[in-house]
Each structure stands twice: as C-alpha cells, then as structure tokens.
Structure 1
Amino acid sequence: MKTFYFPIILASLLIISACSQEEAASSIDDITAQSWADIEAESEGTEVRLYMWGGDEGINQYIDEWLQPQLEDEYGVELERIPMETEEILQKLQTEQQAGKQEGTIDIIWLNGENFKTAKDNDLLAGSFVDVLPNFNEYYQTDDPAFSTDFGTDVDGMEAPWGKVQFVFHYDSEKVKQPPSSFAELKQWISENPGEFTYPNAEDFTGNAFLRHLLYEQTEQPSDIYSEPFEADEVNEKAEGMWTYLNEIEPDLWRSGDHYPNSLTELDRLYGEGEVSMTMGYNEARAEKLIDEGTFPDSTKSFVMEPGSIGNTHFLSIPFNSTNKEGALAAINYMLSPEAQLSKLKQDYWGENTPISYEKLPDSMREEFEKVERGDSVLDQQELEESFLPESEADYVEWIEDYWFDEIVQE
C-alpha cells in the first residue's frame, strides 16, 4: 500500500511545489525586483482591468477617451475600466481570498480612506510597489506625509497617489449673496432660509465629510481630532456639541429633515433643480463640468468655512491576486506621469487637482500646469492651501455613521 501510493504522493508534492514556485514568481516583490525595462517589456500587449467607482461622467470620459488611447500608444497596454462601488470591489476580493482564488479579474483598484484600511487589514493588496515607479520618484515628493498615510493608516508603499481634492461648498450666487464663513453663520443662514439646505446622510462619503468638518469645529483646534488616535470615549465627549447643532438645524432643513439625501448625486440634483441653494463635495473644481453641462446654474460659486477645508489624497493599488501585475505597474506609472496629470487637471474631462510636485517638473511642463484655467467657480489656490485640513483616522468615519443614525435619525 505504501509503495503503491508513494509515486502519487511524490508527484502531488512536485505539483504543489511547482504551483508554489509559480505563485512566488508572480509576487509583487519578485516583479519589483526586476528592472523597470523588464517590467515594461512584460506589460506590452497585455490587458489591464481597472475597477473603480463610475459615478462621474467626466472622470469616466477621462479614462475612456484620453487615458486608454495614451496607454495603448505608450505601453501597448489595453486598459479596461470596470465601474463598481469600492465596497463591492473589496467584497469581491474577500470572497476570492476565502475561496483561495489566486487568479483574479482585478488588476488596479482606485481607493483611499477606510476602504484602503479594510483592504490592508484583510491582506487584499499585493504589497509595496511605489518605490519602483519612475514617475513617482522623479516628479513627486516621495516623503510627503500625504503619501505615507491614508486617513491615518500607514500606506507602506501599497498605493500610489493619483489625485488630491479638497472639500468645498457650492452655492447659487443669485440666491446667496454672502455665503457663510463659519458653522455659526451657516446655522443662522439655514434659520433665515428654511428648506434651502441639507446634507447627505452619514453613510455617504460626502455627508460623512460634512460631519467631520463639524466635529473638527467642536475642538479648540482641528488637530485635536486629525492628529490623535481614535478613542471612542474622548470622541463622544467632543461630539456633544455636534449632535446639538445638527438637531437644532434639522427643522429648517429641506423637508424639515424628514429625509436626508442618500448620495451626493441626489443632493446635486436638488441643487441643480433649485430645491436647495447649496451643495458640497470633494474636488474644489467639480462644479465646472456640471455648469458646462447645464446641471448646475451658471451662477454657481464655491466657498470654505472655518475651521478649514478637509483634503485628502486618493490612490491606485494592486490587489493580491492580479494576474497582470506588470501591466498594472506600467499603467499606474503612466497615470502618475506629468502628461496624464496635466490632462486630468484641465477642465476638458475631470479638472481635478494633482499631487505632482511642480518644482520637480521641467520648466516647460511646469508652465503648462501653471497656465491651466480651472474655472470661475474654483477658489484661489492660495485660499485652498491656507484652509487645508488633513483627514482624521478612518475609524472616525465608521463612528460617525453609527452615532449619526442614533443621535439624529432616531431622535
């Protein structure tokens, strides 16, 4: 019996060993140990699948109409954009991980914040790779804290900075002659203009950010939140004034607070149709495209309030079971290039700010960036920089989601 099964056992062990060697050969560590020229050569002629939120038509057009053809010309890489909510992407990866599926269908993910923390904590990412990207090393401040942490979670080289945004409020200047400069002034304006303001619920990314601004305002200084590790007892104490504020403005909100928009898209629709006079969101230039499309009125402007404007970096990462990590690296490197970032900055498609370092650019390219007109609705860059506030730890996001429902919805 033992003699009969020994060759079979031996063969099985050899197969397992071969599979292990094949898996090891495709690990991100082994791939990044190669020269960049070899990585580029391996990527040529391959398909890269980019899974990302698809709710913004301008962003989608940037990917489909500008980035895809450029990648094909630059690397011979065919980029396929698959729209999917980030939470669903991570759930897909977790399901594949639990099933032991080492050959996945996702090569690049667009993510940040609590989604990055979830991905990192659950080993859903391939590992560290940004140090090998030529464009990152040449054109970015690699030691920038905005690139080393993501909502308080250490990045550890697992994601590459693709863009940066700041939170602003948008308003119809025909209806609002002087926008509020603080939450106290906002409260007064809401009282004097009942039904013309609301915010998305706390489960929405934008609505949660609005609430984090208000939480920052409850402290002596915002750093009491964003520079401190999350401690539920301390946050509960600091947040008492936030819940009081929200309950006091609720009767004067749109629909008297009986319904909060489920998404920024819903709030934007209310604003575009004139039911409310303000909307809000990350990306200080996002209104320009909506104005051009006729979704927002031409009289749309933007403003920030004390204590400041929360900004963050968003990133590109590679999942643990990508079958084309070389192609993913080549695509991400190009997406960080001056050419790709310049196109993304322009209002033609996206109009989003860039994490690239102007001082590292060649003079001619820096001039191209500096002469980009971002639009009349976009605040002056100096005002944005002076109002910038870092994000807090991702734990604050989930805490606000839970407590907002108890303190506001059920009250």
Structure 2
Amino acid sequence: MMKRFLLLFLSIMLLAGCSSNANVEKANTDILNAGWADIEKAAGGKKIRLHMWGGDPGINAYIDEYVKPVLKEKKNILLERIPMDTPEILQKLETEKRAGQAEGTIDLVWLNGENFKNAKQNDLLFGPITEKLPNYQQYYDTKSLENRYDFGLKTDGYEAPWGKVQFVFHYDSEKVQDPPETIEDLLSWAKDNPGQFTYPDPKDFTGNAFIRHLFYESAGGAKTLLDKGFDEEYANSGSKELWESLNKLEPHLWKKGKLYPNDLTELDKLYANGEVAMTMGYNEARAESLIEKGVFPETTRSFVLESGSIGNTHFLAVPANSANKEAALVSIDFLLSPEAQIKKLSPEYWGESPALDYSKLTEEQRESFDEIDRGKSVLSPEELEDAFLPEIDSQYVNWLKENWTNEVVQK
C-alpha cells in the first residue's frame, strides 16, 4: 500500500513539475511575442534586482544616483543594485535551476567573456532579447562582430551590449612626432629608436593583447578567427608571421629584449620615468587620470593602428528564471538609450565609451556626446569605433602565452 502511495505521489509531483515547466515556457514565449507597448505596460510598478560587480565607486554612483531615479520617474520601475562577483551570480543561478526555482532572485546580470559562455551553455539566460529592444535596433550596429560575438562566442541575441573599453597605445608627443600607423611602422620606429619601446610579458593581459593585434593580422583577421573558433592547427600555421615580427623586434626593445616588464604597472613606470617613449592599455581613457595626478607627462597622447584596436564589450542579460522579465527588458532598453549612454560617458560617473553606433545618432545627440571633454589623450568616438576589433575565443590567450615563451623567449 505504501509503495503504491509513493509511486502515486512521485507521479503527481512529476506531472506538476512538467506542468510548471510548460507554464514557464509559455510565459516566456508570450513575452518574446508581445509588442513593446505591452511589455512596457507589464513592467510598470515592478521591482528588479540588478546583480553586478560592485568594486568601482564611479560605476556604483552611476547606477544609484542616475539610473535608479530616472527608471523610477520615467518607467515606474524600482531598481535595486546588488553587488556580487559575476561567478558567484552564476553559481546562484545554477543553484536555483537545480532546485527548480521557476521565479528566481535575480532579474538582470552584467557579464561577458567566460561568464557569458558558462551562462549560455548551461541555459541560464532568457532570450533572445535584443530583437525586442527598440533602442538596440535603432542605435546599435546589429550586424557588427563586436555585438554578435562575445570573446569568440556568438551572442545569438541573449545579451545586449552595454559598453566597451578599447586597447590604445600611449606616447609622449614630445618624443614621438609621428606615431606609427601600421605594425610595420611600429617595427620600423622601434628599430630607429632602440630601447624606447617594449611590451609586457604576455602572461599579463595587456602584453597578451599587444601580441594578439599582431596575431590577428598574421592569421587573416578577426572575422576569420571568429568563424573558425579556437583551432590550434590553424593557429600554428597562421602565427608564423607573428613570431617572425616579434623576433625581429626583440633586439630593438628596452634592455634589448633580454627583460620584459612583468605587467602593465611596470611598463607604466618605465614610461612615467622616461625610460621608454610609449606604453599601452586596455582602456582608451586610462591616461587622463594619470596625467592629472602628474604620473604621466602632460604631452601624453594616444594612437591606434590602421589594422584595428581590440576592444572588450560587456553586456546585460536576463536570467531564464527572472520573475520580472518585462521590467528587466525595459530597464536594459533604457540603459542602452543615447540618454543613458551619454551620462555613462561623463567623467563625473563612469567615463566609459558607449556601445552604440555613433553614426546612427541624431545631430543633437552627437553634439551631446561631443560636449563631454574626456581629455586630450583620448581619441574621438569616430576613430575608436572605426578601429574596433572584437575579442576572439579566450583559449587563444593561453595558447599565445605558452607559444610566445617557445617561439620568442627561448629562440
């Protein structure tokens, strides 16, 4: 009798679970098929919980002092910012998924790279969402590689681009009158100015990014590498020009290439002390604060190569079990708006470059962007956008690091 009861109980629970999953799937489909006016109507009066890294005071102030009150006023959405490291956020989503929690505790997530890869592969995200967002469709390049890929993985509309940083070279304009325009120019400049250039060990993220620029050109460009994904056989054949260039460069480097800065901090010190004429970094605006503090010379300026500049786009996504998906979508759409992106660019808060397509803005909107003074060392939005190259599969980072030791250091 007890055995029959247990079987009956388990059958009922299984049917209930299937029914619950079917209801959730239908609700998600209804949202994705709904018109934007209906989504906005359903979002009104809701509270959403934005889980995001909270280690930067400027970023936190942007959310708390600008985004939160404007969302409440314009969209009647109450936003709560919950600081948490992204891997911990994904662990929480995984735990809720295993527990069968249809309505979770997270409504909006800031992520990219490996974290997006893990979230997507484990079906932790709701979507595709970008086709539903009016501001994304109107102001963003929906066909660009930087929006279609996240560190080599297709986004497939499951995350919306929120902002980006970009790799630039910094130089002392008193020492370098005509900065290099191509990789060949850079190699020639280093040869003509021995000891005035170097790059960090590729174990460091910045040093690795520097040699990735050469790798892109050696291996056929970003699109080719993105289409192939991580392909070690292709990388071996496509990197010959890369290693040849780095080996030709080495004897003309600082310390004749016998010693490399361990990281960007060490390279910055060499530049600040005048031992080298250039440094570099993965943030187009990073030099400004160092100039203001008197660390970098006031004559510091930036350049990117004609072949392009690798950028790192970060995104917003909605968890699959968000209890307030409509409000999350409306919030993302606002965060992608020119109004919110202009405010994010302002140095009073974040100071970060927008993810939108500058050419799609109205003249008035462009003027609002142009009025923001980011400093003389920061390149124009047009230059940065024209040069932007997306990240390739993150497995190449370790591959290049390991092979640099074999092909350059030990040669």
TM class by smaller structure: 0.7 to 0.9
Are 2:284 and 1:284 equivalent residues in the alignment? yes
Identical positions, percent? 47
- Give the direction of change, closer, same or farther, for the CA distance of 1:409–1:68 in structure 2 (3 Å limit): farther
Find the counterpart in structure 1 of residue 83 from structure 2. Answer: 82
Q: Which amino acid aligns with 2:133?
A: L
Instruction: Classify 1:71/1:101 alpha carbon distance in 2 versus 1 (closer, same or farther; 3 Å).
Output: same
How many residues were matched structurally? 405
Give 1:332's aligned amino acid.
Answer: I
1:201 aligns with 2:205: no
Structure 2: distance between partners of 1:119 and 1:402: 28
Partner of 1:49: 50
Mapped contact 1:196–1:278 kept (Cα < 8 A) = yes
Shift of 1:235: 1.4
Contact 1:49-1:105 within 8 A present in 2 as well: no
Partner residue, 1:348: 348
Q: What are the equivalent positions in structure 2 for 1:223-262 lying under 5 Å apart?
A: 225=225, 229-246=229-246, 252-253=253-254, 256-257=258-259, 260-261=262-263
Give the match for residue 332 of structure 2: 332
What secondary structure, in the 3-state scheme, does the structure 1 residue paired with 2:379 have?
A: coil
Q: State whether residues 102 and 321 of structure 1, in contact with CA within 8 Å, keep that contact through their aligned partners in structure 2.
A: yes
Label 1:139 to 1:220 Cα distance change in 2 as closer, same or farther (>3 A): closer
Q: 1:200 to 1:29 in 2, by over 3 A?
A: farther
Q: Where does residue 128 of structure 2 map in the other structure?
A: 128
Is this contact kept in 2: 1:136–1:333, CA < 8 A? yes
Contact map agreement 2:202 2:211 (CA 8 A) in 1: no
Matched to 1:197, the amino acid is: T
User: Structure 1 unaligned runs (5+)?
Assistant: none
Deviation at residue 172 of structure 1 after TM alignment = 3.4
**What TM-score does the superposition give when structure 2 sets the normalisation length?**
0.78
Q: Does 1:73 find its partner at 2:73? A: yes
Are 2:170 and 2:287, in contact at CA under 8 Å, matched by a contact in 1? yes
For 2:279 and 2:58, locate their aligned partners in 1 and report how far apart those are by CA, in whole Å: 18
The C-alpha deviation readout for 1:283-317, integer Å capped at 9, x for no partner, is 43343344445564433210123533234543211
**Which sections of structure 2, spanning at least 5 residues, go unmatched?**
none
How has the CA–CA distance of structure 1 residues 210 and 91 changed in structure 2, closer, same or farther, with 3 Å as cutoff? farther
What is the CA deviation profile of residues 73-117 of structure 1, one whole-angstrom value per residue up to 9, with x for unaligned ones? 333322315252x55655665566566666655433333345433
Kept in 1: contact 2:166–2:283 (CA 8 A): yes
**Alpha-carbon distance in 2 for matches of 1:10, 1:339:** 53
The SS at the match of 2:70 is: helix
Distance 1:258 1:141 in 2: 39
Hey, what does 2:308 align to over in structure 1? 308
TM-superposed deviation, 1:160: 0.9
Larger deviation: 377-386 or 152-161? 377-386
Q: Residue 260 of structure 1 aligns to which amino acid in structure 2?
A: N
Q: Does residue 378 of structure 1 match 2:363?
A: no
**Quick one: structure 1 residues 339 and 232, their matched pair in 2 at CA, closer, same or farther if it must change by over 3 Å?**
same
Q: RMSD across aligned C-alpha pairs, in angstroms? A: 4.0
CA separation of 1:137 and 1:249: change in aligned 2, threshold 3 A = closer
Could you tell me how far 1:364 is from its partner in structure 2?
A: 3.5
